[in-house]
Amino acid sequence: MTLAQSVLSGDRLALARLLTLVENNTPEGREALDELFPHAGRAHLVGVTGSPGSGKSSLVNQIALHYRKADSPRRVAIVAVDPTSPFTGGAVLGDRVRMRDLSGDSGVFIRSMATRGSLGGLAQATAGVVQVFDAAGFELVLIETVGAGQAEVDIARLAHTTLVVEAPGMGDEIQAIKAGILEIADILVINKADHPGADNTERALKSMLDLAHPVEKVFRHHGQAMTVSAPEAAHDPALWIPPIVRTVATEGTGVAELVKSISAHAEHLRRSGDWSKRERTRLETELDLMLTQTLAAQFRAQLSESRYDEIVDQLTKRTLSPWEAVKSLMNGNKS
Amino acid sequence: MAERKIRVLVAKPGLDGHDRGAKVVARALRDAGMEVIYTGLRQTPEMIAEAALQEDVDVVGLSVLSGAHMALVPRVLELLKANGQENVKVFIGGIIPDEDMPRLKEMGVTGIYGPGAPTGQIIDDVRAAVQA
């Protein structure tokens, strides 16, 4: 039996071993991914992102618990990503600390991953790890990104549904209209909603949503009622307007409503055809990335080390610009 | 890219609530380039074995200051074996009386460290054990 077959038959140790092989980008890992690919594509992939300390891990714990306690519990996999040190290559992966409620449940599998130099909030191998879980029959895969700032938006390409978690007191309305992380939210979560400032956070997020999705409004201007009609798109039922959900993850408050929003979003994606559209975009991005990496690796392999060093020397002396260096290397001057 | 990282689970089984030592070791192993999965306080042997399996670690480090090591450590070893992870190396830190050490080693514990043990030694021993 191949490792992939053992994984399909439900062997948890085989699953754990395969995840390591995939993470280390080994030939065996890639072979198994090929074998598992036809079995994947069924799971609902839910991303959870937000700044460090906003409560992502606690929320993931609660969401998973909720799905496990449902009448027809779904099998839940959790991929928790934490940063790798840029200096030593080491990492402390601490997301499990918040997920102890889930231990002892064989319908849950938690795997911690380090970013290993990747900058978009996920690790390079996260997509592969998610694919393995999907093929192994986990119906829900929760993907927790590193504590993300403003631009770690890779998760939106990988997940079907992206939750952006905010905590009160993290910024004003200007933060809310900046491009980046808030734009990728399918669901906005205000966690720690029992803290002061939750109302302000909600107001800021609402005003951002209003700018993005205008609806018809009546307001008073110098004592006169004025109606501002919304553009056509706002009436489109196919449009998903991100709901704002308040939670207190440590107590489980608001989690039922959050889970309802997650299911509603999955339902929306299937109805509108966006599910397959997202799937297509994701596969295309992955293909692009692999193609780029393979070509680059192939190119480097046929390049002599000394020639490469020589070019780098010229760069440091500034006798060659990086673009000139690329041109020179591409022009077959490889000796 | 196919470089193999050493993955270590650092866990505190049992009921004592002092995790400073575990955190110091976790940090030291991190600075040595390893990936350390930290589980937090008050873990049962079952929780530790389950985490070790899911994370496919090479090494499990247990910190015990409660005196219950002769109950907790063998149980963890037994569960690792039952899960097919008999190759995982187990290290212990904490307050372990000298007279218990030979028996723990016999059971399959790779290294035992008390207060003041140099972290450099722990790092070297972990590396050596994984490469063996």
What pLDDT digit, counting tens, does each position of B80-106 carry? 999 999 999 999 999 999 999 999 999
pLDDT confidence of residue B1: 39
pLDDT winner (highest mean) among A132-136, A179-183, A305-309: A132-136
Least confident of A256-260, A278-282, B5-9, B44-48: A278-282
A11 and A108 co-located in one domain: no
> What pLDDT, in 10s, does the model give residues A47-87?
999 888 899 999 999 999 999 999 999 999 999 999 999 89
Contact A108, A64 (CB under 8 A): yes
Average pLDDT, chain B: 93
Q: Confirm or reject contact between B127 and chain A (CB < 8 A).
A: no
A96 and A3 co-located in one domain: no
State the total domains in chain A: 3
Region for A89 from its dihedrals, namely left if φ exceeds 0, alpha if ψ lies in -120 to 50, beta otherwise: left
Contacting residues of B for A96, CB less than 8 Å apart:
37-40, 51
Q: Confirm or reject contact between B55 and chain A (CB < 8 A).
A: yes
Q: Are strands B7-11 and B35-38 parallel, antiparallel or unpaired?
A: parallel
The neighbouring-strand residues paired with A79 are A111, A143
A163 and A214 co-located in one domain: yes
Least confident of A139-143, A179-183, B15-19, B22-26: A179-183
Contact B92, B112 (CB under 8 A): yes
Which band of pLDDT confidence, cut at 50, 70 and 90, is reported for residue B16?
Answer: confident
> What pLDDT, in 10s, does the model give residues A218-270?
555 666 666 655 555 455 667 899 999 999 999 999 999 999 999 999 999 99
pLDDT winner (highest mean) among A14-23, A113-122, A288-297: A14-23
Q: What is the mean pLDDT of residues A204-212?
A: 81
Domain limit, last residue, from A254, A272, A290: A272
Question: What is the least distance, in Å, from the CA of A132 to any CA of chain B?
Answer: 13
Q: How many CB atoms lie within 10 A of CB B129?
A: 17
Contacting residues of A for B32, CB less than 8 Å apart:
88, 90
- The domain of A310 spans 304-330
Q: What is the mean pLDDT of residues A320-329?
A: 92
In a domain, A262, yes or no: yes
Question: What is the least distance, in Å, from the CA of B95 to any CA of chain A?
Answer: 23
Q: Confirm or reject contact between B30 and chain A (CB < 8 A).
A: yes
A47 and A23 co-located in one domain: no
Question: Are B39 and A89 inside 8 Å of each other by CB?
Answer: no
Out of A88, A109, A124, the one facing B30 most closely (by C-beta) is A88
ipTM over 0.90: yes
Out of A20, A26, A93, the one facing B56 most closely (by C-beta) is A20
> Domain segments of chain B: what residues?
7-131
CA atoms of A163 and A302, how far apart (whole Å): 44
A178 and A225 co-located in one domain: yes
In a domain, A299, yes or no: no
Question: What is the least distance, in Å, from the CA of A18 to any CA of chain B?
Answer: 9
pTM of this structure: 0.88
Q: Confirm or reject contact between B35 and chain A (CB < 8 A).
A: yes
Q: How many CB atoms lie within 10 A of CB A110?
A: 24
Q: Confirm or reject contact between B46 and chain A (CB < 8 A).
A: yes
pLDDT above 70 covers a percentage of chain A that reads 87
Q: Is the pLDDT of residue A215 over 90?
A: no
In a domain, A86, yes or no: yes
Question: Are B55 and A89 inside 8 Å of each other by CB?
Answer: no
Size of interface A-B (CB pairs under 8 A): 84
Class of domain B7-131: alpha beta
pLDDT confidence of residue A174: 62
How many alpha carbons lie under 13 Å from residue B15 in its C-beta half-sphere? Answer: 3
CA gyration radius for chain A? 23
Contacting residues of B for A17, CB less than 8 Å apart:
56
Question: Are A93 and B37 inside 8 Å of each other by CB?
Answer: yes
Token pair belonging to A146? 């590193």
The neighbouring-strand residues paired with A218 are A227
> What pLDDT, in 10s, does the model give residues A107-160?
999 999 999 988 888 998 999 999 999 999 999 999 999 987 666 788 988 999
One-character DSSP codes across chain B: --PPPPEEEEE-BSS----HHHHHHHHHHHHTT-EEEE--SSB-HHHHHHHHHHHT-SEEEEEE-SS-HHHHHHHHHHHHHHTT-TTSEEEEEE---GGGHHHHHHHTEEEEE-TT--HHHHHHHHHHHHH-
Q: What is the mean pLDDT of residues B36-43?
A: 93
Token pair belonging to A94? 């601490």
CA atoms of A9 and B45, how far apart (whole Å): 26
Q: How far apart are the first and last CA of chain B?
A: 22
Which band of pLDDT confidence, cut at 50, 70 and 90, is reported for residue A335?
Answer: very low
Residue located via tokens 């218990």: B100
pLDDT confidence of residue B132: 77
Out of A16, A93, A109, the one facing B36 most closely (by C-beta) is A93
A155 and A170 co-located in one domain: yes
Q: What is the mean pLDDT of residues A315-321?
A: 95
CA atoms of B95 and A74, how far apart (whole Å): 43
Which band of pLDDT confidence, cut at 50, 70 and 90, is reported for residue A172?
Answer: low
A111 and A194 co-located in one domain: yes
Contacting residues of A for B55, CB less than 8 Å apart:
16, 111-112
pLDDT confidence of residue B2: 42
Out of A94, A100, A104, the one facing B38 most closely (by C-beta) is A94
A58 and A176 co-located in one domain: yes
Which band of pLDDT confidence, cut at 50, 70 and 90, is reported for residue A317?
Answer: very high
Least confident of A146-155, A172-181, B51-60, B69-78: A172-181
CA atoms of A289 and B91, how far apart (whole Å): 40
Q: What is the mean pLDDT of residues A296-308?
A: 89
In a domain, A335, yes or no: no
A21 and A89 co-located in one domain: no
Q: How many CB atoms lie within 10 A of CB A272?
A: 15
Out of B5, B38, B54, the one facing A109 most closely (by C-beta) is B54
Contacting residues of A for B36, CB less than 8 Å apart:
90-93
CA atoms of A159 and A45, how far apart (whole Å): 5
A28 and A47 co-located in one domain: no
A71 and A18 co-located in one domain: no
Question: Are A85 and B40 inside 8 Å of each other by CB?
Answer: no
Q: Is the pLDDT of residue B24 over 50?
A: yes
Q: Confirm or reject contact between B56 and chain A (CB < 8 A).
A: yes
